């Protein structure tokens, strides 16, 4: 993995107006980079803004504030149609909800081939069919499935169709929003092994949004932890699991269910109480150790540094 | 324990252009009062169809219950009229659907959707129902419930929608709750809260839960018993300890082996090879044979019966036949059988294999 950034996200904000006077700050000032060829895992509480972050990066929403640079170019500044098209092909998204994200009136073949058609990637019908069949096989489905409609598939099967669709246009960056949550573990392993292999073969970069922490740890190079629209901790995957500093990260780690009944019977969870924080000043995102960032106040910063030094 | 539900020889098919999809092919199980039965199994193996069939919620056509009975407190639900079923659904039987977006009405405020059932089934007044809604939303961990109940589903995140669905299902204190991937969309902390909540309610009301999930960590946490499904059948069933510490079916081995453990990031995940069988023309013999490294010749010919492992534990694999060769599960699975947390009892049971 290089240290060259593919994406730079700078002070990104996404605020939704939900009433005349009420605003939800779904994403509230994110700063982070995603390196070329890496998998960046994004985890955090339900509703903390992970999907919104992904959707804003890929420009499904206009950002309220802030910038996203892709290969050094400002994504949100683009207006030119052909440039937009090129960019759309580079970045693809696999959606969280395999039910809502597939058009129920389209055959699987056409769902998968839609992007190839838009970007003129196939020359004739025969080639189109072949590519669709290859893709179906790649994601562990059957050629026969090409002629069926989404409602004829189970949840997990639909998610694999979504993955095939994203892969169809040969993107360089994929935002995978909980791509495996709807899959059973054996298919999860297949898909994760597949994503890793595709990453090696095609030098793909991933933003991997998930809440299954054991899988995130397994697939990610670095992991960012979000809480209420903000990034509270960011570190190498191993470092984060070994030396979590932010209490929210600790509570997440303590809640991972393990496939071991005896362990589960005696599990102890660590609860996060946001009011336990030092409130003497606004917390900032600070580098506590090499490439280990935590949202903290000056007092907490000193405290965390000492904590890291003792391990 | 008193038997609440008894499913006998259930067969469900879908009539489609391509032919008859044999989604459920002879399923038997019981659920007792106060217990949690987890159903795990590959995507497409028939978990949702089985439970929707219990609730008589499959659209007919294309769905068809070909055979079998579903005895709930002794009454065969498969024989009830839609009107009779409506009285039971949302009261004695309640279901959390796998798909939170389509189980909520997008044009109706979230609060009203929860109130609906309370007013209809619990005969609450509007004021009572509203108070109960606030209580339920807080119970499932939705902050700021007062203003949230006035919002529409699309204004909620995936996980928040899921919590609303959980709140609706719990609203009526059902005798049997069927929860289809109820926590799949949730982060682990909220998931833990919801699981605790479901367990607490279960303890109070002695209700039974059928819990469908593919997260084996969650299974280990909630289940008393586990049924493993493959290609429309239950291939192994037992107590949670039977399944995790003494699994017998190669498909169950595959499931356990494909979970990553937290300290082994570099080992390749064990993935079951191949893809699920075509349910229009299910293979002859053992449906798992083509993907099974341990398949015997007989697997291609004849379907294995359920072999008894112990009073609580049954598995449908020819490997349990007295003439079958001695076969050990793969190393990665044996490691997991010893318990990820290396617990003492896990060790002793794991060694028996
Ligand atoms: N279109 C929208 N309009 C108004 N509010 C929205 C909209 N989309 C999201 N939100 C709000 O923004 C916040 C973040 O939502 P988001 O979907 O990004 O969460 P998430 O981290 O992906 O959660 P989950 O793990 O549950 O999917 C939530 O409070 C949600 O209610
Ligand atoms: N309306 C339908 N028409 C045709 N086939 C269907 C229909 N609904 C489900 N099926 C088929 O029935 C089988 C069982 O599906 P089911 O939804 O029960 O799977 P599942 O075990 O719940 O999977 P998942 O874990 O992905 O949710 C699948 O092969 C599916 O393709
Ligand atoms: Mg989301
Ligand atoms: Mg299902």
**A144 and A167 part of one domain:** yes
H or E stretch covering B192:
helix B188-205
pLDDT in tens, A140-171: 788 889 999 988 887 667 878 888 898 899 89
Rg (CA), chain A: 21
A255 has a chain B CB within 8 A of its CB: yes
pLDDT at residue B222, as a whole number: 94
Q: Among A221, A242, A263, where does a domain finish?
A: A242
**A178 and A61 part of one domain:** yes
Is A152–B16 a contact, with Cβ atoms under 8 angstroms apart?
yes
pLDDT in tens, A60-98: 888 899 999 998 888 877 667 777 788 888 999 888 666
Q: Helix count (H) and strand count (E) of chain A? A: 11, 12
Instruction: Report, as an integer, the average pLDDT of B113-142.
Output: 85
B41 neighbourhood in chain A, CB within 8 Å: 184
Q: What's the gap in Å between B184 CA and the centre of ligand 2?
A: 17
pLDDT at residue A182, as a whole number: 67
Count CB neighbours of A20 within 10 A: 5
Is A46–B160 a contact, with Cβ atoms under 8 angstroms apart?
yes
pLDDT confidence band for B346 (50 / 70 / 90): very low
In chain A, how long is the greatest CA-to-CA distance? Answer: 67
Instruction: Report, as an integer, the average pLDDT of B44-54.
Output: 92
**A105 and A190 part of one domain:** yes
Q: What is the DSSP string of A289-302?
A: ETTEEEEE-HHHHH
- Is residue B342 over pLDDT 80? no
Degrees to nearest 5, angle at CA A147 with A143 and A148: 105
Average pLDDT, chain A: 88
- Is residue A266 over pLDDT 50? yes
Q: Among A214, A242, A270, where does a domain finish?
A: A242
**A204 and A71 part of one domain:** yes
Instruction: Report, as an integer, the average pLDDT of A160-186.
Output: 85
Q: Among A226, A242, A258, where does a domain finish?
A: A242
pLDDT at residue A194, as a whole number: 78
B16 neighbourhood in chain A, CB within 8 Å: 152
- pTM for this prediction: 0.80
**A67 and A212 part of one domain:** yes
pLDDT confidence band for B344 (50 / 70 / 90): very low
**A171 and A289 part of one domain:** no
pLDDT at residue B348, as a whole number: 33
Across the interface, which of B101, B190, B341 has its CB nearest the CB of A97?
B101
pLDDT in tens, B255-267: 888 877 666 555 6
**A53 and A17 part of one domain:** yes
Q: What's the gap in Å between A154 CA and the centre of ligand 1?
A: 25
- Is residue B182 over pLDDT 60? yes
CATH code of the domain covering residue A230: 3.40.50.300
Pick the more confident residue, B234 or B348: B234
- Is residue B99 over pLDDT 70? no
pLDDT at residue A302, as a whole number: 94
Instruction: Report, as an integer, the average pLDDT of B305-314.
Output: 94
Q: Are B340 and B217 in contact (CB under 8 A)?
A: no
pLDDT at residue A98, as a whole number: 66
- Is residue A311 over pLDDT 60? yes
pLDDT in tens, B187-206: 788 788 788 888 888 888 88
Instruction: Report, as an integer, the average pLDDT of B114-135.
Output: 85
Q: Which two tokens stand for residue B268?
A: 């390749």
**A10 and A121 part of one domain:** yes
- Containing domain of residue A264, as a range? 244-311
Could you check whether the bond before residue B281 is cis, i.e. omega within 30 degrees of 0?
no
Torsion of CA B339, B342, B346, B351, to 10 degrees: 100
**A226 and A213 part of one domain:** yes
**A225 and A308 part of one domain:** no
> How far away is chain A from the Cα of B6, in angstroms, using its nearest Cα?
25
Instruction: Report, as an integer, the average pLDDT of B18-34.
Output: 93
| Number of domains observed in the structure of chain A | 2
pLDDT confidence band for B214 (50 / 70 / 90): confident
Give the sheet arrangement for strand A205-209, strand by strand.
Answer: A91-94, A173-177, A205-209, A39-44, A222-227, A230-236, A292-296, A284-289
Torsion of CA B326, B328, B329, B333, to 10 degrees: 150
pLDDT confidence band for B268 (50 / 70 / 90): low
A60 has a chain B CB within 8 A of its CB: no
pLDDT at residue B264, as a whole number: 55
**A248 and A226 part of one domain:** no
**A255 and A203 part of one domain:** no
- Is residue A250 over pLDDT 70? yes
Average pLDDT, chain B: 85
- Is residue B92 over pLDDT 70? yes
Q: What one-character DSSP code corresponds to residue B43?
A: T
pLDDT at residue B347, as a whole number: 34
């Amino acid at each position: 993995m290089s240290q060259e950034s593919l994406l730079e996200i700078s002070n990104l904000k996404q605020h939704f107006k939900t009433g005349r006077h009420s605003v939800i700050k779904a994403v509230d000032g994110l700063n982070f980079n995603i390196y070329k060829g890496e998998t960046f895992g994004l985890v955090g509480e339900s509703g903390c803004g992970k999907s919104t972050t992904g959707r804003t990066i890929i420009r499904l929403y206009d950002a309220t504030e802030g910038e996203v640079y892709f290969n050094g170019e400002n994504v949100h500044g683009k207006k030119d149609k052909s440039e937009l098209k090129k960019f759309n092909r580079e970045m693809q998204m696999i959606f969280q909800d395999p039910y809502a994200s597939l058009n129920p009136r389209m055959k699987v073949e056409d769902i998968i081939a839609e992007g190839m058609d838009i970007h003129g990637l196939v020359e004739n019908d025969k080639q189109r069919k072949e590519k669709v069949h290859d893709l179906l096989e790649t994601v562990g489905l059957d050629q026969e499935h090409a002629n069926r409609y989404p409602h004829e598939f189970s949840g997990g099967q639909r998610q694999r169709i979504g993955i095939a669709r994203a892969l169809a246009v040969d993107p360089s960056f994929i935002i995978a929003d909980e791509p495996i949550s709807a899959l059973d573990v054996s298919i999860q392993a297949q898909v994760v092994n597949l994503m890793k292999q595709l990453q090696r073969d095609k030098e793909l970069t991933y933003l991997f949004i998930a809440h299954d922490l054991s899988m995130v740890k397994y697939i990610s190079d670095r992991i960012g932890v979000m809480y209420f629209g903000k990034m509270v901790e960011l570190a190498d995957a191993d470092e984060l699991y070994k030396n979590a500093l932010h209490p929210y990260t600790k509570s997440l780690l303590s809640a991972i269910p393990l496939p071991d009944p005896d362990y589960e019977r005696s599990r102890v969870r660590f609860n996060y109480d946001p009011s336990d924080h030092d409130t003497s000043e606004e917390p900032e995102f600070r580098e506590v150790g090499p490439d280990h960032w935590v949202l903290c106040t000056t007092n907490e910063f000193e405290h965390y540094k000492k904590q890291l030094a003792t391990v | 324990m008193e038997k609440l539900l008894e499913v006998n020889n259930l067969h469900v098919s879908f009539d489609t252009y391509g032919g008859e999809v044999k989604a459920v092919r002879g399923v038997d199980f019981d659920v007792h009062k106060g217990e949690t039965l987890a159903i795990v199994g590959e995507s497409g193996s028939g978990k949702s169809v089985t439970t929707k069939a219990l609730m008589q919620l499959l659209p007919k056509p294309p769905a068809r219950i070909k055979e079998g009975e579903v005895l709930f407190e002794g009454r065969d639900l498969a024989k009830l009229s839609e009107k009779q079923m409506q009285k039971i659904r949302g009261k004695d039987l309640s279901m959390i659907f796998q798909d939170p977006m389509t189980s909520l009405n997008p044009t109706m405020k979230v609060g009203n959707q929860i109130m609906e059932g309370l007013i209809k089934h619990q005969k609450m007044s509007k004021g009572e129902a509203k108070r109960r809604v606030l209580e339920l939303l807080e119970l499932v961990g939705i902050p700021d419930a007062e203003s949230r109940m006035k919002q529409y589903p699309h204004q909620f995140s995936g996980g928040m929608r899921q919590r609303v669905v959980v709140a609706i299902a719990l609203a009526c204190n059902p005798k049997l709750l069927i929860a289809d991937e109820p926590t799949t969309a949730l982060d682990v902390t909220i998931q833990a809260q919801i699981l605790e909540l479901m367990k607490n309610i279960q303890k109070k009301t002695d209700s039974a839960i059928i819990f469908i999930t593919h997260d084996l960590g969650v299974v280990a946490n909630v289940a008393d018993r586990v049924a493993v499904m493959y290609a429309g059948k239950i291939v192994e069933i037992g107590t949670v300890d039977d399944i995790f510490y003494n699994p017998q079916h190669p498909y169950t081995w595959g499931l356990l082996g494909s979970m990553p453990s937290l300290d082994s990031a570099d080992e390749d995940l064990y993935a079951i090879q191949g893809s699920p069988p075509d349910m229009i023309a299910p293979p002859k013999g053992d449906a798992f044979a083509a993907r099974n490294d341990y398949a015997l010749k007989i697997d291609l010919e004849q379907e294995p019966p359920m072999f008894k492992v112990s009073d609580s534990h049954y598995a449908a694999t020819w490997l349990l036949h007295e003439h079958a060769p001695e076969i050990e599960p793969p190393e990665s699975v044996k490691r997991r059988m010893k318990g990820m947390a290396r617990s003492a009892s896990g060790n002793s049971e794991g060694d028996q294999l």
